[in-house]
A and B are shown apart, each in its own frame.
Chain A
Amino acid sequence: MNNNNSWKRILWLLSGVGFLIGLYGLYARLTLGHTDANYGSYIPWGLWVAGYVYLIGLSAGAFLLSTLVYVFRVKILEPIGRLALFTAVTTLVGAMVLIFLDLGHPERAWRLALHTNFRSIMGWMIWLYTGYFILLLVELWFASRVDLVACAGNPGFSGRLCRFLSFGSQDVSPERAAKDRHTLRILGTIGVPLAIAFHGGVGALFGVIGAREYWHSGLSPIFFLVGALLSGGALLTFVTAIWGPDVKSEKGQKLVLLLGQITLGLLAFDVLLEWAEYSIGLWNAVPGKTNGLLLTLKGPYWWVFWFVHLGLGVIVPGLLLALRGRSISAITTAGALIAVTFLSVRLNFVIPALAEPELEGLRTAFTGPGLTFSYFPSVSEWMLFIWAISVAALIFLAGTQLLPLTPKEA
């Protein structure tokens, strides 16, 4: 437990510092608009879009794993159902903050709902996200209701918060609890296609762009879903080891070991898909179609693929999970590594497709800010990204302190 407490302290510290220094990014975005960013006309999407895809993937992955509890009723995972749902809520909030501020005119975001063009996959997103967000909150409430009623009697802020969030509900009878479980099953069942639709939809959003060979693949939505499950599963493994049932208890240990195995399986599947994408893309291919892939492997940011993704995101955690799969600390580290480095996968998906000119002579035809095919995020872009992540982390950390996210016996 001491180990866990030190992890928690580190995370509080990191999130707090991240929130404070990240305020600069928010300030720069609000005062300078998009002039302080390094994306532009030829590479119109940068770190914020990649960060949004990353966070939304974490959310979808964590949610889909929660369905193992509420839809498929996998008993052993029951203690972390609410943690999974809450992880999904907070990462979704982070993703929405990023993509909202990425818009050229955030004040017109309401048009997405009131002037939706359903021929655009992006048009569908606002509705899927709204539905998903409401579903998450309702599901979390039903999953926590009994414990909210119980903690409503607690003294202090936590008790007041529980009293407010229980919305007057006081029935803790076994019949009512069984009814709750039934409701959760229905909600979770609705959630499965919803989560697949919205995250597969994000993959499709890129996949339908015929102008970009790098994105234009039927595998894109599948790749996004598996990536979501992997990154979300890895994050949930880490979260479970820190905030879940005591890992010194047999139950807690079994739970983390199982999550470790799930993560390893998902990692293997993700690598298989990645191999399919790269090998088919590169083998005997027409040069014009391989540029994006080669840029990832051999371009100026080759190290993002080889070191960050393959090294720290696949090989090291893969070995940890395969060879030291019974060590809680190894599984925790592997989960954290995969979850954090998955940002590199999202960056390597979003940017290289745009870093290749559609017509070669454009590189030098006319110059100016943003009329370039190279991209590295600016300081204020990093700061705003860190701020959004920190906001999500702080909400999560506060939730673990104030809300009944784990069963009492844990």
Chain B
Amino acid sequence: MSKVEEATAVTAVTTRRNFLRSVVGMASVAAVATPLARKTATPASGSRNTIQSTPAQQVTAVDGPQDPLERMRADLARALQKPEAERRWVMVIDLRKCVGCTACTISCVAENHLPPGVVYRPVLEEEIGTFPNVAKRFLPRPCMQCDNPPCVDVCPVGATWKRSDGIIEIDYDQCIGCRYCITACPYNARTFDRGFVYNDESYVDNSVTFVGVADAEAYEMAAPYEYGEERPRKDGRSPIGNARKCHFCLHRLEKGMLPACTTTCIGRATYFGDASDPDSLVADLIASPNVMRLKEALGTEPKVYYLQ
């Protein structure tokens, strides 16, 4: 059974369950199930057996109406069947759900083997009030993948551009490392890879014995798969000396996987998908009245939306 079929099967079961719940008066659950009801058009017979045979999916089915990850994976699989130019990748971050754990930041570092000084998705913290009456607000900040990206036109050698699916890409082999694009980004979303490594002497505290240092070093030096290219980190070769930024884990998307930050978000606060698909979860979410984007007045038209 293909991924799409599996996801549809999950949807079918959980939707039936929600229907029963709504019958007994659980109005709130019914509200969540409403957008999912669209997917019941293709119920797969024997789907219950499929779920029971895979423990991981069983957990998600029990957990709630439907894990948004499952729906997003189905959305992603559908989007990948369309031509690139017809996809419109967007990210939605629900600030009410973000607990500031920074799992997304770290998973991004791990996924892309980011060195010290390079970060694609920091989580900004804002403290409101004075002690002891303090509240905290968190704001994860990936690259906004602007529809009108100020970083693209300034590149003197055309090493960065907007793809037809809206993701802003950097060609590490063309980039000369002038950092003009870094200055042009209104969100500080681009960083400069100066060639540091975490396992360098200056970072490792020799007075403490760490378990697994050798493995960590091997992992750090192993090539990440950004833009689907293998680039071992050595001899000052690119991406050392380049501008770097979040690319919505393009290399994962192309393999049918959600961005690392989305799958690792413990609060399910990060959503990802193809906004040009009216049946996608993100298409529903960006139609919410409580949606906002950063620095809207600049006209950069970010493709990262926040719910608040």
Contact = CB atoms under 8 A, between A and B. Distances in A.
Contact of B126 (A37, A111, A125, A360): A360
Given A123-B157, A369-B196, A370-B192, A358 B186 contact: yes
A109 B176 contact: yes
A371 B119 contact: yes
B246 to A, nearest CB: 13
Given A44-B182, A359-B124, A369 B156 contact: no
A76 interface: no
Contacts of B158: 115, 117
A338 interface: no
B301 to A, nearest CB: 14
B183 A115 contact: no
Contacts of A121: 154
A103 B178 contact: yes
Contact of B241 (A104, A111, A362): A104
B139 interface: yes
Nearest to A122: B156
- What 6 A-B pairs come out closest when comparing CB atoms? A104-B177, A361-B124, A104-B241, A41-B191, A365-B122, A44-B179
Contact of A126 (B150, B156, B243): B156
A395 B253 CA distance: 55
B144 to A, nearest CB: 11
A45 interface: yes
A33 B241 contact: yes
Interface string A331-364: 0000000000000000000000110011111101
A115 B153 CA distance: 13
A208 B139 CA distance: 28
A116 B119 contact: no
Interface string A101-119: 0111110110110011101
Contacts of A117: 153, 155-158
Contact of A44 (B157, B192, B238): B192
A365 B156 contact: no
Contacts of B191: 40-42, 370-371
Contacts of A353: 183
Contacts of B176: 103-106, 108-109, 111-112
A370 B156 CA distance: 23
A121 B268 CA distance: 43
Nearest to B177: A104
A368 interface: yes
Nearest to B119: A366
Contacts of B238: 105
B117 A41 contact: yes
Given A33-B194, A44-B192, A104-B242, A368 B125 contact: no
A326 interface: no
Interface string B155-195: 11111000000000000001111111011111110111111
Interface string B119-139: 100111110000000000001
11 contacts: A33-B236, A40-B117, A103-B178, A111-B174, A120-B153, A209-B154, A212-B183, A359-B139, A360-B124, A365-B122, A365-B141
A111 B242 CA distance: 14
A125 B156 CA distance: 9
A358 B192 contact: no
Given A358-B186, A359-B141, A40 B192 contact: yes
Nearest to B197: A35
B87 to A, nearest CB: 26
Contacts of A208: 154
Contacts of A39: 192
B188 A357 contact: yes
Interface residues of B, number: 49
Nearest to B139: A361
B102 to A, nearest CB: 8
Interface of B: 105, 116-119, 122-126, 139, 141, 150, 153-159, 174-180, 182-188, 190-196, 236, 238, 240-243, 294, 298
Contact of A120 (B156, B194, B243, B298): B156
A108 to B, nearest CB: 5
B177 A45 contact: no
Contacts of A211: 150, 183-186, 298
A369 B192 CA distance: 10
Interface string A13-41: 00000000000000000000111010111
Given A33-B236, A33-B241, A120-B180, A42 B298 contact: no
A105 to B, nearest CB: 5
A102 B180 CA distance: 12
Contacts of B190: 41
B177 A103 contact: yes
A213 to B, nearest CB: 10
B194 A34 contact: yes
Contacts of B195: 33-35
Contact of A358 (B154, B185, B242): B185
A210 interface: yes
Contacts of B243: 104
Contacts of B119: 41, 365-366, 368, 371
A258 to B, nearest CB: 40
A116 B159 CA distance: 10
A359 B188 CA distance: 8
A102 B182 CA distance: 14
Contacts of A41: 117-119, 182, 190-192
Contacts of A42: 188, 191
B241 A105 contact: yes
B186 A35 contact: no
A366 B105 contact: yes
Given A105-B177, A360-B126, A35 B196 contact: yes
A33 B196 CA distance: 10
B188 A368 contact: no
A408 B43 CA distance: 98
A121 B153 CA distance: 9
